[in-house]
RNA sequence: GCGCCCGUAGCUCAGCGGAUAGAGCAAUUGACUACGGAUCAAUAGGCCGGGGGUUCAAAUCCCUCCGGGCGCACCA
């Protein structure tokens, strides 16, 4: 089909208008089943430019399409839609293809050749992860999986903000707790600090006998390692994987040979590009050249670098490490940063519109969620997870686009019913296994696959849904919207349940096993495979029994 | 004041410029001595925040107003 339509677009004698591009050629699955298996609006798109009547043009294209193998019928509808219906054998072939492809079905090469660094969560290692981090963790990890499935070379990265005076405040808080003193000014409250102090004292029994500065440093460093370990464990339990844990301290570290840090080098490089100037004893980056509303200080009058300086060095480090494309996933409370990051890209000589991409996630709230007393009245990832379970939590956060503000209802998240889409999808998957087990017991095998036997309306719909999966994955990757995979999984689960209600895989009672049963087993197994692949992209388990 | 995001069914939310705007929940009513009823079938529920514009075609793109969230540091 593609070939005929594109020939129409590119062949000089049949389509003389040069302004027509491949982007005009849309072939999509119509929402309404009455409009066939595939539909195209190409005739309406190009009619004006080629000076033709859209309906006549559509009829001409339809005539060519109808002659193709596997096409059952082609109709022209409405203002010039071309509706294509495949015959059962052509539509059914996808079931075998899916079973043969296995876990790789859905992968595509739309992002092949792209090297992407995806940074998300990047929490300060001074306390537990909260509900905001939880959403970015779920979305970021799923996005990473989707981008890989689309063929990108991808590294997921956690930037550890382990430099700066919040670390000193953190250390001072632990030290104070160890002494039984109240939380210092600008310190971190919460019982977890006390818990950390107990563990620090176990590791450093003589902490309180050391000189003050030494004790502070030890409290800070020991507490940091313990807290970072907690964060890593929380994320691992949440099925979230990072390829790289990047320490901000690396950027501050002084090179023995040159006596300079990565940040020094970064400022030099930005200066060489002509985007750095000195004023009022401070060093500034001319971010207004790139759309920021004011220039930003990168080195203060007192000689101390701002946070922005580390950001600059970090950005450059990503490019130095071979990542042409950098994606940042930030919370809405950091959206003021977008201009600055874009400006960094521009100041570094990159293209701010192509080489850096900043995704802003809106805030999430959960009605009635318990605030964590131990972490100072935040909602903790660990609490949410033990309360709702990894699958329900990841799925619930993963099925909404990042830019939509979200309010979750814990009553529903806890229900193991249709109310909760994750169980609806997982149940469909478990059901495919149940059906396969029963088929094996009844002597139904996959020895025969005759796609022409898949003629029931629910089979046609199910096959159509299955065929769409690679397109969904590609779209989710290109739009950076992993939630599309979840929505698709729900649609597929629905198509499967309805098929199950209408079409049996195992024969009833004394009925003989026929090729219809055998072929349906392929369809059943194909559905299980795609549900499994979709859930895997979301980091959610696909149980065989529930 | 400036900037970003959001406003779609009673609720929570999908919706790539296309055909009669969808799903789940909540409400009402049905279907198992048939592969798991954690399922399925059906009914009802909408000036897609308001108003302009672009287009053959707008929930979708542009402008404007209203409402909500967030941000505007020589903090990190």
Per-residue model confidence as pLDDT tens digits over A483-516: 999 999 999 999 999 999 999 999 988 889 999 9
In this prediction, residue A68 carries a pLDDT of 86
Is A433 within 8 Å of A542 (Cβ atoms)? no
In this prediction, residues A140-151 reach a mean pLDDT of 96
In this prediction, residue A173 carries a pLDDT of 95
Q: How many CB atoms lie within 10 A of CB A266?
A: 27
pLDDT at residue A20 is higher than 80: no
Q: What angle separates helix A457-479 from helix A131-149, to the nearest 10 degrees?
A: 110
pLDDT at residue A444 is higher than 60: yes
Chain B nucleotides reached by a protein CB under 7 Å: 2-7, 11-16, 18-20, 22-26, 34-36, 38-41, 56, 68-76
In this prediction, residues A366-380 reach a mean pLDDT of 73
In this prediction, residue A26 carries a pLDDT of 63
Query: Three-state DSSP class for A327?
Result: strand
> CA neighbours within 13 Å on the CB side: how many for A186?
7
Whether the model pTM is above 0.90: yes
Phi/psi at A390 (5° precision) = -60, -50
In this prediction, residue A416 carries a pLDDT of 63
In this prediction, residue A9 carries a pLDDT of 35
**Nearest-5° Cα angle at A490, A526 to A83:** 75
In this prediction, residue A190 carries a pLDDT of 86
- Helix and strand element counts for chain A (H, E): 19, 14
Instruction: Confirm whether the ipTM is greater than 0.90.
Output: yes
Closest to A252 measured CA to CA, from A242, A243, A265:
A265
Is there contact between A442 and strand B, defined as CB under 7 Å from any strand atom?
no
Q: Which residue is nearest to nucleotide B4 (CA to C1')?
A: A335
pLDDT at residue A286 is higher than 80: yes
Residues 66-105 of chain A within 7 A of strand B, judged by CB, are 77-79, 81, 83
pLDDT at residue A24 is higher than 60: no
pLDDT, chain A, mean: 88
In this prediction, residue A19 carries a pLDDT of 44
pLDDT at residue A21 is higher than 60: no
In this prediction, residue A36 carries a pLDDT of 83
Is there contact between A434 and strand B, defined as CB under 7 Å from any strand atom?
yes
Nucleotide nearest to A82 (CA to C1'): B19
Name the H helices within A36-190.
Answer: 42-50, 54-66, 88-101, 131-149, 165-179
**How far does the CA of A41 sit from the C1' of B18, in Å?**
7
In this prediction, residue A206 carries a pLDDT of 96
In this prediction, residue A70 carries a pLDDT of 86
**How far does the CA of A160 sit from the C1' of B37, in Å?**
49
What's the Cα-to-Cα distance from A523 to each of A30, A71, A95, A96, A440, rounded to whole Å?
A: 22, 21, 5, 8, 15
Intra-chain end-to-end CA distance of chain A, in Å: 42
Q: Distance between CA atoms of A170 and A172, rounded to whole angstroms?
A: 5
**How far does the CA of A59 sit from the C1' of B19, in Å?**
17
Residues 110-129 of chain A within 7 A of strand B, judged by CB, are 124
In this prediction, residue A415 carries a pLDDT of 67
Q: How confident is the model at residue A80 (pLDDT cuts 50, 70, 90)?
A: confident
Least confident of A44-48, A213-217, A372-376, A384-388: A372-376
- Look up residue A479 and give its two tokens: 């739009």
**How far does the CA of A392 sit from the C1' of B25, in Å?**
16
What's the Cα-to-Cα distance from A284 to each of A161, A203, A261, A288, A297, rounded to whole Å?
A: 22, 43, 18, 11, 4
In this prediction, residue A419 carries a pLDDT of 64
pLDDT at residue A97 is higher than 70: yes
pLDDT tens for each residue of A32-79: 777 888 888 888 877 777 777 888 888 888 888 888 888 888 988 888
Is there contact between A335 and strand B, defined as CB under 7 Å from any strand atom?
yes
pLDDT tens for each residue of A319-353: 999 999 999 999 888 888 888 898 899 989 898 88
Is there contact between A166 and strand B, defined as CB under 7 Å from any strand atom?
yes
Q: Which residue is nearest to nucleotide B69 (CA to C1')?
A: A405
Nucleotide nearest to A308 (CA to C1'): B76
Q: Distance between CA atoms of A301 and A222, rounded to whole angstroms?
A: 32
pLDDT tens for each residue of A210-261: 999 999 999 999 999 999 999 999 999 999 999 999 999 999 999 999 999 9
pLDDT tens for each residue of A195-218: 999 999 999 999 999 999 999 999
In this prediction, residues A516-528 reach a mean pLDDT of 96
Is there contact between A459 and strand B, defined as CB under 7 Å from any strand atom?
no
Nucleotide nearest to A38 (CA to C1'): B19
In this prediction, residue A14 carries a pLDDT of 37
């Amino acid at each position: 089909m593609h070939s005929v339509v594109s020939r129409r677009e590119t062949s000089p004698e049949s389509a003389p208008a040069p302004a027509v591009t491949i982007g005009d050629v849309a072939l999509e699955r119509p929402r309404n089943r009455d409009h066939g298996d595939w539909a195209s609006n190409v005739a309406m798109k190009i009619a004006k430019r080629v000076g033709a009547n859209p309906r006549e043009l559509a009829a001409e294209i339809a005539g060519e399409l109808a002659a193709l193998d596997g096409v059952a019928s082609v109709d022209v509808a409405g203002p010039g839609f071309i509706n294509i219906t495949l015959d059962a054998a052509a539509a059914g072939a996808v079931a075998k293809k899916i079973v043969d492809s296995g876990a790789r079905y859905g992968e595509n090469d739309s992002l092949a050749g792209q090297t992407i660094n995806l940074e998300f969560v990047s929490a300060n290692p001074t306390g537990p992860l909260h509900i905001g981090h939880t959403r970015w963790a779920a979305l970021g990890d799923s996005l990473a999986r989707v981008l890989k499935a689309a063929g990108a070379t991808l590294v997921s990265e956690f930037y550890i903000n382990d430099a700066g005076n919040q670390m000193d405040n953190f250390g001072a808080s632990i030290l104070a707790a160890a002494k039984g003193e109240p939380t210092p000014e600008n310190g971190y409250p919460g019982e977890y600090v006390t818990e950390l102090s107990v563990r620090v004292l176990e590791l450093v029994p003589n902490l309180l006998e050391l000189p003050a500065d030494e004790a502070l440093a030890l409290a800070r460093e020991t507490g940091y390692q313990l807290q970072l370990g907690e964060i890593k464990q929380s994320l691992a339990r949440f099925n979230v994987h990072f390829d790289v844990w990047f320490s901000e301290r690396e950027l501050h570290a002084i090179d023995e040979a040159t006596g300079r840090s990565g940040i020094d080098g970064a400022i030099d490089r930005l200066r060489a590009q002509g985007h750095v100037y000195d004023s009022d004893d401070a060093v500034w980056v001319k971010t207004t050249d790139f759309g920021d509303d004011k220039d930003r200080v990168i080195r203060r009058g007192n000689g101390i670098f701002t946070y922005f300086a580390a950001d600059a060095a970090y950005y450059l480090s990503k490019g130095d490490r071979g990542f042409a494309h950098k994606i940042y996933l930030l919370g809405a409370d950091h959206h003021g940063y977008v201009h600055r990051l874009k400006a960094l890209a521009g100041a570094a000589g990159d293209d701010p519109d192509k080489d850096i991409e900043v995704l802003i996630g809106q805030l999430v709230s959960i009605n009635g969620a318990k605030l964590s007393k131990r972490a100072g009245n935040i909602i903790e990832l660990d609490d949410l997870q033990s309360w709702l379970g990894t699958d329900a939590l990841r799925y619930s956060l993963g099925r909404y686009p990042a830019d939509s503000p979200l309010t979750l209802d814990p009553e529903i998240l806890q229900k193991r019913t249709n109310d909760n889409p994750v169980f609806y999808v997982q149940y469909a998957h478990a059901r495919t296994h149940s059906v396969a087990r029963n088929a094996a017991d009844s002597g139904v095998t996959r020895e025969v696959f005759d796609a022409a036997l898949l003629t029931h309306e629910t089979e046609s719909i199910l096959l159509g849904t299955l065929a769409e999966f690679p397109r969904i994955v590609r779209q989710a990757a290109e739009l950076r919207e992993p939630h599309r995979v979840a929505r698709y999984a729900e649609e597929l689960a629905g198509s499967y349940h309805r098929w199950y209600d209408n079409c049996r895989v195992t024969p009833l009672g004394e009925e003989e096993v026929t090729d219809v049963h055998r072929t349906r087993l392929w369809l059943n197994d194909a559905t299980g495979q795609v549900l499994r692949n979709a859930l895997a992209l979301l980091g959610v388990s696909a149980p065989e029994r529930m």
